[in-house]
Amino acid sequence: MLDINLFREQPDVVREGLRKRGEDPAIVDEIRELDARHRQLLQEVEALRAERNRVSKRIPQIRDPKEREAKIQAMRELKARLDQLEAELRDVEAQLWERLAWVPNLPDPDVPVGKDESENVVVRQIGEIPAFSFRPKPHWDLGPELGLIDFERGVKLSGTRFFVLRGWGARLQRALIQWMLDLHVQKHGYTELYPPFMVREKIIFASGQLPKFRDNLYHDAEEDFWWVPTAEVPLTGYHMDEILREEDLPLRYTAYTPCFRREKAAAGRDVRGLKRLHQFDKVEMYAYTTPEQSEAELQKMVQDAVETCTLLGLTCRVVQLCTGDLGFAARKTYDIEVWAPGLQEWLEVSSVSNVGDFQARRARIRYRPKEGGRTRFVHTLNGSGLGVPRTYIAILENYQQSDGSIVVPEVLRPYMGVEVIPPK
RNA sequence: GGAGGGAUGGCCGAGUGGACGAAGGCGGGGGACUUGAAAUCCCCUGUGGGCCUCGGGCCCACCGCGGGUUCGAAUCCCGCUCCCUCCGCCA
């Protein structure tokens, strides 16, 4: 949610931000009109309420029953007018809120301007694209051949975009999750949380997945439960409606959750393999900071994600998203991509975003400055640390050997108990 | 699922129709006393919003949430949510 004052005081800044994203700035005028009507009505309503309060306080002191009855009668009439105006006010307020909820965050000024993915900027690459003495296989061949991934039975159970991991294959995923959590907790300074995987609608709204991405979410037909599309959702909701203390910031959390997505918008794309699934696992990093801290925290979080890749021995690169490719809530985002030699492509395993106060406004998460004074909205940041299936792809494809075995990355060996996953 | 009890400020807790934005306490801030600290005493201390002749003033809303009754609601009525206790069921 953007600050309504931005629309009042700097509408051109909002229009410019929307244009850079490739969005229609017409909504700015729509919101300005609603806001003007809202304030007009609010003033009228408040004037009437002030009048009512003033007179009502005096009524018990009036001795003369006639005068008293006259006042009460006058207030009855005022009440009727007030009821009508209040109904109107509620209506306009709801409209204003509804429109505002659809406006995405504004890009940070130093985000490169571009229309889509093709204009993202590769910031740096860590490691070289590895050379193989044989033709590396894609994971959708390796997985079934080694008995690690059972795509067919996944489909039997739940349909397309589902899979089953088996034996060492299941163990490898569990090892990855465990290791990532340990890394973020022990080395990167995050506190581990285990949140619910289903949350209320208002929590989904607070993180910005609603109303815009309703189509991509699963929810219970009977009760107010929404399956989380990312741990970012419960991690944003965690401090909803709270006033934090500046001394406690930054607050850093990490959490493992499965993520559930309909992927309707991507129908037919990436249907093969583990690249895009209805249910996938992810370890998330999350931070609440002051506005002054958030840029540095963004860089730290990118570094934490990069380190997760490099410790696994994967070649990766950091890509800064251009304005046209930014997510709804983000004002600045870096993707981390790892090289998958079987697929011969870079895979996005992490997306790290500074959301500014966009989610904090929706979730009403504030902090009290050390020196006192008015509360301020926190900044929130989220980043994958990492998405599990794509990391899994990269491990299988990068660590495959000519004899068909998979060498286990060194950091995972204590969690796997073996150095090599043998060929079948 | 059934029965009962509850939800008040950062925390605890009073308040059952009229000066209650809310007693009292705790916590926090400032001051007096003190060489310093403690103790004691005094003062201040919720959130959001609107307006103006705007570094000051006026007003509105908020006592779990949403409606309603009333001239007037923390207080009465209806619905909902959440928490607690007991019973049932259950991994």
- State the nucleotide closest to A83 in CA–C1' terms: B68
Mean pLDDT value across residues A307-332: 97
Specify the pLDDT at position A367. 85
A368 strand B contact, CB < 7 Å: yes
| Average pLDDT in chain A | 93
Task: Please determine, for residue A374, whether its predicted confidence score (pLDDT) is greater than 80.
Answer: no
The nucleotides of chain B lying under 7 Å from a protein CB are: 10, 18-19, 47-51, 59-61, 67-68, 71-72
Task: Please determine, for residue A167, whether its predicted confidence score (pLDDT) is greater than 90.
Answer: yes
- State the nucleotide closest to A87 in CA–C1' terms: B67
A43 strand B contact, CB < 7 Å: yes
- State the nucleotide closest to A223 in CA–C1' terms: B81
Mean pLDDT value across residues A412-417: 97
Distance A242 CA to B9 C1' (A): 14
Most confident range, picked from A45-59, A149-163, A233-247: A149-163
Mean pLDDT value across residues A399-413: 97
Mean pLDDT value across residues A300-327: 97
- State the nucleotide closest to A73 in CA–C1' terms: B71
A46 strand B contact, CB < 7 Å: yes
CATH among 1.10.287.40, 3.40.50.150, 3.40.50.12240, 3.40.50.2300 for A4-101 = 1.10.287.40
Q: Which residues in range 154-213 of chain A are in contact with strand B, contact meaning CB within 7 A of any of its atoms? A: none
pLDDT confidence band for A240 (50 / 70 / 90)? confident
- Report pTM: 0.92
Residues of A classed as catalytic: 261, 276, 348, 351, 390
Task: Please determine, for residue A372, whether its predicted confidence score (pLDDT) is greater than 80.
Answer: no
Distance A213 CA to B58 C1' (A): 44
A54 strand B contact, CB < 7 Å: yes
Question: How is A315-327 classified by DSSP, letter by letter?
Answer: -EEEEEPPGGG--
Question: How is A128-165 classified by DSSP, letter by letter?
Answer: -PPP-SS-PPPHHHHHHHHTSEEHHHHHHHH-TT--EE
Specify the pLDDT at position A176. 97
Distance A344 CA to B62 C1' (A): 59
Distance A200 CA to B87 C1' (A): 29
Distance A245 CA to B44 C1' (A): 20
CB-based contacts of A223-229 (< 8 A; 24+ apart in sequence): A224/A200, A225/A198, A225/A199, A225/A200, A226/A198, A226/A199, A226/A200, A226/A201, A227/A197, A227/A198, A227/A260, A228/A195, A228/A196, A228/A197, A228/A198, A228/A199, A228/A257, A228/A258, A228/A259, A228/A260, A229/A259, A229/A260, A229/A261
Mean pLDDT value across residues A153-170: 95
Q: Is the ipTM of this complex over 0.90?
A: no
A245 strand B contact, CB < 7 Å: no
Specify the pLDDT at position A70. 87
Task: Please determine, for residue A330, whether its predicted confidence score (pLDDT) is greater than 80.
Answer: yes
Specify the pLDDT at position A87. 87
CATH class of A117-421: alpha beta
CATH code 1.10.287.40 region(s) in chain A: 4-101
- State the nucleotide closest to A40 in CA–C1' terms: B50
